[in-house]
Structure 1
Amino acid sequence: MASAVPTAMERPHFIGIGGAGMSGIAKILAARGAAVAGSDARESATAEALRNTGVTVHIGHATGHLADDASCVVLSSAIRQDNPELTAARERGLPVLHRSDALAALMAGRRTVAVAGTHGKTTTTSMLAVALSGIGLDPSYAIGGDIHGPGSNGHHGEGEIFVAEADESDRSFHKYAPDVAIILNVELDHHANYASIDEIYDSFETFARNIRPGGTLVLGEHPGADVVAARVADRDDLTVVRVGRGAGADHRITSIVAHGMTSEVGYAVDGTEHRFTVSVPGRHYAHNACAAVTAGVAAGGGAVAELATAVTSYTGVGRRLQPKGTAAGVQVIDSYAHHPTEITADLEAVRDAAGDGRVLVVFQPHLFSRTQQLADEMGAALTLADASVVLDIYPAREDPVPGVTSALIVDAARHKGADVVAEHDKNRVPDLIAGMAERGDLVLTMGAGDVTDLGPRIVARLAGPQA
């Protein structure tokens, strides 16, 4: 299925092109024939993967990186307004598009599935993309994580379906008008943009109301998702399908049996039970898989049985309980979890995988605003680990807030009886973990920042001081 590139996007320049959301869009545009260029703050495997598809990637941000013939600039909410490339684009009168505007343009003319929720978006979107691909439908997709390796977060497919992760953090998911939407869960997060849970509900309601007439809303088993569903109950042109273990589920999860790093799932739809394996541990991942299957069917992507079978080929996505290696009998796994609900879910999930061994966590808080609001809950979640190392806050797009440091989390965790140490120097962590870990233990690096870089270094250090 061919797709034209809008004139304004024939020669786009991406500021922050290596980002999880940005790079996938850039890759799709390049596959559709656009001459894509961009810049990023640092070199990365994603930048190199983009270059291999013909994209021009500059490292660093400078006015000279913006080509004379650029047709527009694409950016995310993380880009500051004083960025030199953005300033140059405005001086030249170039169109400036938010990442979500570019993605919405790419979805035009396709049958679209948009996956939303406070937690689980990337995993569920990836599962659906893998399942649809597995039955030969070749969907397009844009995901906030890599399915196979660097640069695999975006794909231009010849099929009619487009699967997209829908980000609520900056309300950018309001730009989409999907045929099928998933709302997995709704909780208060992104405190710099939302002042209350009611603002979050309002935002998700707007997203749900944008579903096209005759479309489908797939709901995860979560009180917040139910609130949103109740708010759009006046839409007679919308089919709502609830997925979960409770009696109120339309498609019911009948069983989840853990087997180390996998789970066997029973899923009953219209009186028929289907059984399949999810190749990542944890109840929440089983729920994500079932939501993906239901959404795939609603989008015309095949029958429940074939999609459930196809989703078994999903082997994980980058940073979502991603194995980083084993050395000296110690498993090292990387997790993107940064909200207390996610931290709790992933720690519960890996407990089975650890068997009789201990679970050791290296946690890097993400954002000052989130830490300020949720430090106590983060500390409580860390009590599920046998021992934790807490790093300094990863600021991302935020400036420091006086009095807000990772010490708030450390103090909260210790107050609740957790074994926690603070470490300000990330480079000391491999040695620190090597001194703590014993054969049979599982180490979990956790957070949405650059803590992910520590996984391979910990494995190497466990293998030996000279490794």
Structure 2
Amino acid sequence: MKDVKEIVDSMKNSPSGNGGRIYLIGIGGIGMSALARYFNAKNVTVSGYDKTETALTKQLAAEGIRVHYEDNIEFIDTDAQLIVYTPAVPKDHAELNYYLAHNYAVVKRSDVLGAITGSSFNICVAGTHGKTTTSAMVAHILQHSGYGCNAFLGGIAVNYNSNFWPSEKNVCVVEADEYDRSFLKLSPDVAIITAMDADHLDIYGTAENVEQAFIDFSTKLKDGGLLLSKFGLSRTAALKASHHLTYHLNDVKANVCAANIKMSNGSYRFDIIYKNPVAITWKLNEVELNMGGMHNIENMIAAIAVAHHLNIEDEKIKAAVSSFKGVKRRFEYIVKNEKQIFIDDYAHHPDELKALLTGAKKLFPDKKCTIIFQPHLFSRTKDFADGFAESLDSADEIILLPIYPARELPMEGVNSEMILNKMKSTNKKVLHKTEILDWIKNSKTELLITAGAGDIDTVVEPIKKILTNSN
């Protein structure tokens, strides 16, 4: 089998219209679809399989990428030079096993991303939460300011309605995924670590192993590169970098932080203070961020610090930040008027839920807060049931959906009632997804939040229609 980098390089550098052929198993995944779009932009013939048709796979098809939804070797591309799959693909997948049995070049998504970015200037954003929004913010500032970048994101940036965009500039902004240790195949020139909380314990086993993976990620930084980590991470001293700065929402002990934060109608104004290491060397006043959540100010602080490191002009940074419209399912306003606020978010970890609910309640303190939460994975629910209960208790009303299993089989005794029974709130219940719309019709919600990483997003538009009609 040819080296994956050799195959990818031949595709990247081939003459227009003759870029070879690639097949992706799990093409509708957020990371895989970004790869599909990258190769499609390079005139590679792209096709693939996914389990179900989604809005994203429909977009891929509209862009000229062939997608099918039946695990059937009659539909595969037998002329493909490279086969890419995700760890979520089951081992008995017929198409995957055909390619393996017939000695095709079969690799994981992380191998391909590592090969693509092997010779570029890379800004890699890692963290158990916050990485999608932060990477989208970095990429948007670079694009909007004219600096330019290729963006590989784990979410759909609203400004571009995409998780990927190309650039002639040999710069890549990459969301660095810790799942399956994928991010250890990247070579950052700038690395951001937003959080190192326990997660994916089905992969790592212990919180200490999760932290060690992030420490290992920091060793991938190129000589002379910049590491930017959130101030207060438990093992900051173990991170490896000759040039290491910290950031925080408002802790002045960090190298970069915000000051004079003002809230107005779901938006924020704030100043940025940059110290290296203790003396103030740079300030950026009156930055405007038009998305909710105090945690998103913190994410933007990291993005602004990177832009300043790259010598992007102050006014260009401010203009880019002001124009940033957010990421779909990251504190995304679905309905926003005087009577009704409806926010949808991808939060699926207790810390993410806590940040989501805290941010929403601070922005709209006079509104009753109702959250509909769909737990993601049996293993995560089992590991963090206490944390989920504590975070959700801060809402005024809590609706839990059954657990979304994703890649897992059920675990005995692990269900949404496990969280429900640990909560102190009395205004709580478990409803099935089929019951949610009728419940919405018969309820008076003021500040409504839907959250989770499963298929809860499929009820967002129906809920929006009900709320819009009732208003």
SS in 2 for 1:398: coil
Gaps of 5+ in 1: none
1:268 maps to amino acid: I
1:249 maps to amino acid: A
Q: Are 1:260 and 1:281, in contact at CA under 8 Å, matched by a contact in 2?
A: no
Who is 1:86 aligned against?
96
SS in 1 for 2:421: helix
Who is 1:6 aligned against?
9
SS in 2 for 1:384: coil
What RMSD over aligned residues (CA atoms) do the two structures have, in Å? 2.1
Query: Is residue 2:251 matched to residue 1:246?
Result: yes
Deviation at residue 452 of structure 1 after TM alignment: 1.1
Who is 1:451 aligned against?
456
Cα-to-partner distance string for 1:36-61 (whole Å, 9 max, x where unaligned):
11111111221121123221111232
Who is 1:260 aligned against?
265
Q: What is the rounded CA distance, in whole Å, between the counterparts of 2:426 and 2:292 in structure 1?
A: 24
Deviation at residue 151 of structure 1 after TM alignment: 6.1
Deviates more, 1:249-258 or 1:287-296: 249-258
TM-score scaled by structure 2?
0.91
SS in 2 for 1:6: helix
Who is 1:428 aligned against?
435
Deviates more, 1:93-102 or 1:172-181: 93-102
SS in 2 for 1:97: strand
SS in 1 for 2:247: strand
TM-score scaled by structure 1?
0.92
Q: Are 2:201 and 2:207, in contact at CA under 8 Å, matched by a contact in 1?
A: no
Deviation at residue 374 of structure 1 after TM alignment: 0.6
Deviation at residue 328 of structure 1 after TM alignment: 9.9
Q: Are 1:15 and 1:39, in contact at CA under 8 Å, matched by a contact in 2?
A: yes
Cα-to-partner distance string for 1:395-437 (whole Å, 9 max, x where unaligned):
1111111110011111111xx23421111x2021011123222
1:239 maps to amino acid: H
Q: Are 1:276 and 1:312, in contact at CA under 8 Å, matched by a contact in 2?
A: yes
Deviation at residue 4 of structure 1 after TM alignment: 9.6
Matches within 5 A, 1:113-132: 113-132=123-142
Residue 150 and residue 452 in structure 1: after superposition, are their counterparts in 2 closer, same or farther (change >3 A)?
Answer: farther
SS in 2 for 1:284: helix
Deviation at residue 16 of structure 1 after TM alignment: 0.9
Larger relative contact order, structure 1 or 2 (CA cutoff 8 Å, min sep 6): 1
Q: Are 1:130 and 1:313, in contact at CA under 8 Å, matched by a contact in 2?
A: no
Percent sequence identity over matched residues? 31
Q: Are 1:11 and 1:72, in contact at CA under 8 Å, matched by a contact in 2?
A: yes
Q: What is the rounded CA distance, in whole Å, between the counterparts of 2:218 and 2:194 in structure 1?
A: 12
Q: What is the rounded CA distance, in whole Å, between the counterparts of 1:116 and 1:199 in structure 2?
A: 15
Deviation at residue 150 of structure 1 after TM alignment: 8.9
Deviates more, 1:173-182 or 1:309-318: 309-318
Deviation at residue 169 of structure 1 after TM alignment: 1.7
Who is 2:17 aligned against?
none
Q: What is the rounded CA distance, in whole Å, between the counterparts of 1:247 and 1:207 in structure 2?
A: 26
Q: What is the rounded CA distance, in whole Å, between the counterparts of 2:331 and 2:308 in structure 1?
A: 27
Who is 1:154 aligned against?
164
Residue 22 and residue 151 in structure 1: after superposition, are their counterparts in 2 closer, same or farther (change >3 A)?
Answer: farther
* Aligned mate of 2:283, from 257, 272, 284: 272
Matches within 5 A, 1:62-101: 62-101=72-111
Deviation at residue 221 of structure 1 after TM alignment: 2.5
Q: What is the rounded CA distance, in whole Å, between the counterparts of 2:311 and 2:69 in structure 1?
A: 40
Deviation at residue 15 of structure 1 after TM alignment: 0.7
1:454 maps to amino acid: V
Q: What is the rounded CA distance, in whole Å, between the counterparts of 1:383 and 1:265 in structure 2?
A: 30
Deviation at residue 296 of structure 1 after TM alignment: 2.7
Q: Are 1:263 and 1:282, in contact at CA under 8 Å, matched by a contact in 2?
A: no
